[in-house]
Amino acid sequence: MPFITTQDRTPIFYKDWGTGQPVVFSHGWPLNADAWDPQARLMAENGFRSIAHDRRGHGRSGQPWNGNDLDTYADDLAALIEELDLRDIILVGHSTGGGEVTRYIGRHGTGRVAKAVLLGAIPPMMLKTEANPEGLPREVFDGIRKGVATDRSQFYQELSEAFYGANRPGADVSRGTRDAFWQWSLQVGIKGAYDCVKAFSETDLTEDLKAFDIPTLIVHGSDDQIVPIVASAEKSSEIVKDATLKVYEGAPHGLSMVAPFKDVFDADLLAFARA
């Protein structure tokens, strides 16, 4: 399997499919690159080169004690991009992966980047503060940490319900989809999973968003129960220059994996990449 090794000797697993303009996918917490398989296949079949990595602590990558923060995640992404000498990239990030993409641009610029897609992404900041009253209270994230630290298997099973909107009337989410979420989540080391909660909830990415100087597509579900749209996409779309905001009415956080929203997102992603 292909790996790169970071400066602190952490192995980062990645997939590399197809040829053409590179599309680099960053996954959400607590998943791995497999969550992007349908879109990675779609892009590779349509003349693009799809690359998706497992974030440190997740999936098949190493599980170091340190570095489970957005600065290091962004630097790991930079290491992958530089090792593969990727240019004219379309960066695509979901949830925490959207934060990773945003911090990458804030720290490393857009010299190698042509476009960006933020899907259900965490920027600018998820935690409720005096300056960010639309965010979620700390108690929500304390509850996530407690779930990870005590009975994470059961916690991940329950989390999949809200993640895909399976708790909404009329939702059509298969048991297999939720089981896949649970399986991917259990591949995350407990230290990385626990630390990442602080990373995705408390990191202020406002200044990083101001560094975007490329066409950016921001997609969010109006019924996202994990990353509320009022604290994320609505704000990000006002900060990012040349941003296009698309709101999918009634869509959940994991909209790229469930019908009918998956097909709409796939079409929007391909059209944006080709434009």
Catalytic residues: 95, 224, 253
Question: How many residues does the structure list for the chain?
Answer: 275
Distance of CA 180 to the CA centre of its chain: 17
**C-alpha to C-alpha distances, 68 to 29, 93, 191, 200, 240, nearest whole angstrom:** 12, 17, 8, 10, 26
DSSP the chain: --EEE-TT--EEEEEEESSSEEEEEEPPTT--GGGGHHHHHHHHHTTEEEEEEPPTTSTTS---SS--SHHHHHHHHHHHHHHTT--SEEEEEETHHHHHHHHHHHHH-STTEEEEEEES---S--B--SS-TTSB-HHHHHHHHHHHHHHHHHHHHHHHHHHTTTTSTT----HHHHHHHHHHHHTS-HHHHHHHHHHHHH---HHHHHT--S-EEEEEETT-SSS-GGGTHHHHHHHSTTEEEEEETT--TTGGGSTTHHHHHHHHHHHHHH-
Q: What are phi and psi of 58, to 5 degrees?
A: -110, 155
